[in-house]
Amino acid sequence: MQPIINLLVQLQELIIARAQQEAGMPGSQLDQLDASISSLTKEIPADLGLQFSRLLQKGPLAIVPVVNGVCTACGMALPVSLVHKVHAAEQIYQCPSCARLLFYRASSARNTRKAPRRSDPPKVGIERFSAETLMLPALKGADRETVLAEMCQKLKDEGFVDDAGQLLESALKREAIISTAVESGLAFPHVRSIEGGALTLALGITSKGIKFDPAGKAQTRIVFFMVIPTAASAFYLKLLSGLAQVFQKPENRDKLLEADTPEKLWKALMKTTRLVIQ
């Protein structure tokens, strides 16, 4: 059954990638993704495909990983016997709480972003997802992998994730599906289905630009890197759409590109997004 589980996970990634492309750049590479989705769907047994589709109609995720004995979608601690069955993968099991299909994942980077204390002032807009410490106004990397490695290490150094290497590996696997680079020198790399924490955003600027999409010609200068817990998958699309909307405007991109310190970049990000991202 493991090959079928792998197909379902791949199909879900393609469907989410299509939604991300549509949110970030309508019309961008959608035909290519539609063809891949159609091809993969034909490889899945009809009854399971129907069940999968019905689950997707209820939410953005139909199949989710079990990590440390917990369903990463709803947070339910699963019976030990069920965890062992999911690990064995002799058949496909559902979460008793949210009914999503389950698969086993041995390990991944963990989001260690701390929850706000009651005494902290309430945060609004982009402040809910990021911080000045995650602003990188002068990325040193000369290509996609080194830039992503730099941003993953920053997230690790600032205590937002526990494993920069695993985070980078997951980010590159996502980029292999289809590039997250879009027009206007923007890129939105991300890693989904992270355990723990909350949706987290790091922002990096490359002064000369890099070829983020190996198949494309455009140079990317502004990189929004997001770490997305499974439970935040739906909201992520709203954030992506908001960022794409704001930074399609040259004047807003210029404000980020002109910032030469983390403090200035942070202020520019908050100012440009305050009316769109609530």
pLDDT per residue as tens digits for the range 34-81: 888 999 899 999 999 999 999 999 888 899 989 888 898 888 999 999
Query: Residue 125: what pLDDT?
Result: 87
Assess whether pLDDT exceeds 80 at residue 249: yes
Q: Give tens-digit pLDDT for 122-135.
A: 778 899 899 999 99
Structure confidence at residue 110 as a pLDDT band (50, 70, 90): low
Domain at 125-273, CATH homologous superfamily: Mannitol-specific EII; Chain A (3.40.930.10)
Contact residues for 233 (Cβ-Cβ < 8 A; gap 6+): 16, 60, 61, 192, 193
Q: What pTM does this model have?
A: 0.82
Tokens at 270, concatenated = 């908050």
Q: What residue ranges of the chain are covered by domains with CATH 3.40.930.10?
A: 125-273
Tokens at 196, concatenated = 């723990």
**Residue at token pair 């992503």:** 148
Assess whether pLDDT exceeds 90 at residue 109: no
For the segment(s) 2-104, the CATH number from 3.30.429.10, 1.10.287.1490, 3.40.50.300, 3.50.50.60 is 1.10.287.1490
**Within 10 Å of residue 269's Cβ, how many Cβ atoms?**
28
